[in-house]
Structure 1
Amino acid sequence: MTYQKILVALDRSFQSETILKQAIAIAKPTQAELILFHALMFDGRNIDAYSGIYGQNVLSLSSSVQEHIETQTQEVESWLESCAQKVQAEGLPVEYSWRIGDPSSWIREMAKTCDVDLVILGRRGRRGLAEVFLGSVSNHVVHYAPCSVLVVQGKDVSESEES
């Protein structure tokens, strides 16, 4: 099967470089366009905790949230730009995008709106209760994407912690 447009979901983990290399290898024979994508999850854990029950810290919290989001988006933008340069160096057409929110939903949505032939993403190797409670982006995408999906297998979480 040949692919013309491939969505490459990257998460800034140790596995992203491998996923990008796989995508380039698959795209090269047909000069398929790569769309690099990252979902920036915002869960609020990395900001100052709200401590006033009467709203004393609302302005401070709002400012902290905004600064955190701006810092994260600048980092992601720069990182995706460097990934895109690697793809361009291989002579392939590339674009990149990022969104804030649930990766599963955004990858599925991007696959639909960009009319891609293939989604390539990684799997962190969570099993059992960790997968149940933390969710599985790859599992969701495999079941709900409107196109073929290639899941690049990662190390088991316990294996990578032992290394």
Structure 2
Amino acid sequence: MYETILVPTDGSPQSREAADHALEIARQFGSTVHALYVLDDRGTGRMSQAVNELSHDSPERKEMDQRHEEAGAELTDEIVERAREAGVDAESVVRSGDPAETITDYAEERGIDLIVLGARGRSAVGKFLLGDVAGKVARHATTPVMLIRPDE
């Protein structure tokens, strides 16, 4: 039923919990897990605005981008290692872009059967109205999406 499962991660407790669910589903169905980290290049938020003030070819910008990419690789590699310990095949992927668009595009490109991602603890209606990543993915993906709410 689910040959491939995409689990986007940002290192948050919600994304770690989503990874737990994705790995359990993958174990049950013999699926391959794709762990995806998206380097957010939209230029929103304080950190992104500070980064965007740096020239794209400045040494500081390149160093900062490299650190972000390494952090993303560590997060996805952690999921891949957990998958292997559970006897599940997994791939680690780091991409740049708008997180919601990158997640849905990746799922479509790779023929992903299920996207499992964490949702924040606020009400679902509030989050959808605010347009968070999980809400955007749930609304726009052509792939089935499983949102994992944190244990409260």
TM-score (norm 1): 0.78
1:55 corresponding residue in structure 2: none
Contact kept? 2:9, 2:15, Cα under 8 Å: yes
Residues 81-122 of structure 1 deviation map (CA, whole Å, 9 limit, x = unaligned): 122111111011100111112110001101101101110011
1:25 corresponding residue in structure 2: 24
Structure 1 residue 131 displacement after superposition:
6.2
Query: What aligned pairs does 1:47-126 form with structure 2 within 5 A after superposition?
Result: 47=51, 49=53, 62-126=58-122
Distance 1:63 1:111 in 2: 33
TM-score (norm 2): 0.83
- Give the aligned CA root-mean-square deviation in angstroms: 2.5
Runs of 5+ consecutive residues of structure 1 not aligned to the other structure = 51-57
Contact kept? 2:37, 2:75, Cα under 8 Å: no
2:49 to 45, 51, 58: 45
Structure 1 residue 142 displacement after superposition:
1.4
Letter in 1 for 2:95: R
Instruction: Please list every run of at least 4 consecutive aligned residues from structure 1 whose deviation after the TM superposition is greater than 6 angstroms.
Output: 128-131
Identity %: 24
State the structure with bigger RCO (CA 8 A, min sep 6), 1 or 2: 2
Runs of 5+ consecutive residues of structure 2 not aligned to the other structure = none
Letter in 1 for 2:11: R
Structure 2 residue matching 1:45: 3-state secondary structure: helix
Structure 1 residue 41 displacement after superposition:
1.3
Residues 17-56 of structure 1 deviation map (CA, whole Å, 9 limit, x = unaligned): 2111101111112211101111111433344956xxxxxx
Paired residues, what number?
146
